[in-house]
């Protein structure tokens, strides 16, 4: 009986050590992840079929702000049956992948972009003209390359272009991002990425 307890204790100890190391690494690299995903959304739900939820994150008061507010945001990914096509809601962006392809994705995207009013702490920004909320429409193109066919070990790259349909600004907002996913155990994956807007 004592040997079973010792074995169970050793297993728990090894698991706790792995979790501690993982959390330490995440904490050590959290500044890097924050910078690399500064222009991307705060969560990524790739390769998950039929998931719906609400995430909690610290969001900037407006684009470029140093002041953050804790908020909640919806996310969902609904896959069409027997297909690679899907709808993806990621905070304020709604995507529809029209390609039925194992690693390429392409389709329309809609986005709700929050504006900025004069109720901000920065005195210089407070004097600037307010920016109204707007709706953007555009398209995305991406690749999701699974290394050795493993859906958890993959490289993902996306390009997106959004145009204002709410007549708030002129021009195009483009985003390019890349992420590398690597499984580090049965329950954990590590992701490294970079994104530019």
H or E element in which residue 126 lies: helix 123-126
pLDDT value of position 24: 52
Q: Over the Cα atoms of the chain, what is R_g? A: 20
Are 109 and 88 within 8 A, CB to CB? no
Average pLDDT on 67-76 reads: 85
Query: Could you give the dihedral angle defined by the CA atoms of residues 170, 121, 93 and 75, in that order, rounded to the nearest 10 degrees?
Result: 180
Average pLDDT on 28-39 reads: 41
Question: Per-residue pLDDT for 37 more than 50?
Answer: no
pLDDT value of position 65: 79
Q: Count of CB atoms within 10 A of residue 160's CB? A: 21
Token pair for 192 = 């490294």
Question: Per-residue pLDDT for 30 more than 80?
Answer: no
Give, as one character, the DSSP assignment of residue 156. E
Among residues of the chain, what percentage have pLDDT more than 90?
36
Most confidently modeled range among 55-59, 138-142, 166-170: 138-142
Reported confidence tier of residue 33, pLDDT bands at 50, 70, 90 = very low
Burial bucket for residue 84 (CB in 10 Å: 0-12, 13-18, 19+): middle
Reported confidence tier of residue 143, pLDDT bands at 50, 70, 90 = very high
Burial bucket for residue 135 (CB in 10 Å: 0-12, 13-18, 19+): middle
H or E element in which residue 12 lies: helix 2-36
Q: Does the predicted TM-score (pTM) go above 0.75?
A: no
User: Which has the higher per-residue pLDDT, 38 or 87?
Assistant: 87
């Amino acid at each position: 009986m004592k040997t079973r307890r010792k074995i169970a204790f050793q297993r728990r100890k090894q698991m706790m050590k792995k979790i501690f190391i993982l959390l330490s690494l995440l904490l050590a690299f959290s500044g890097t992840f924050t910078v690399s995903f500064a222009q991307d959304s705060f969560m990524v739900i790739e390769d998950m079929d039929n998931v719906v939820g609400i995430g909690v994150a610290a969001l900037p008061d407006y684009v470029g702000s140093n002041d953050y507010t804790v908020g909640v945001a919806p996310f969902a990914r609904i896959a069409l049956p027997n297909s690679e096509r899907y709808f993806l809601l990621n905070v304020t962006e709604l995507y529809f992948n029209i390609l039925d392809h194992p690693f390429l994705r392409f389709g329309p995207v809609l986005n709700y972009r929050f504006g900025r009013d004069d109720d901000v702490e920065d005195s210089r920004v407070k004097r600037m003209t307010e920016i109204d909320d707007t709706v953007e429409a555009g398209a995305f193109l991406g690749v999701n390359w699974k290394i050795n066919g493993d859906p958890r070990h993959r490289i993902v790259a996306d390009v997106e272009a959004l145009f204002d349909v709410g007549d708030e600004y002129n021009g195009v907002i483009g985003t390019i991002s890349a992420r590398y996913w690597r499984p580090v155990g049965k329950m954990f994956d590590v992701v490294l990425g970079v994104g530019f807007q």
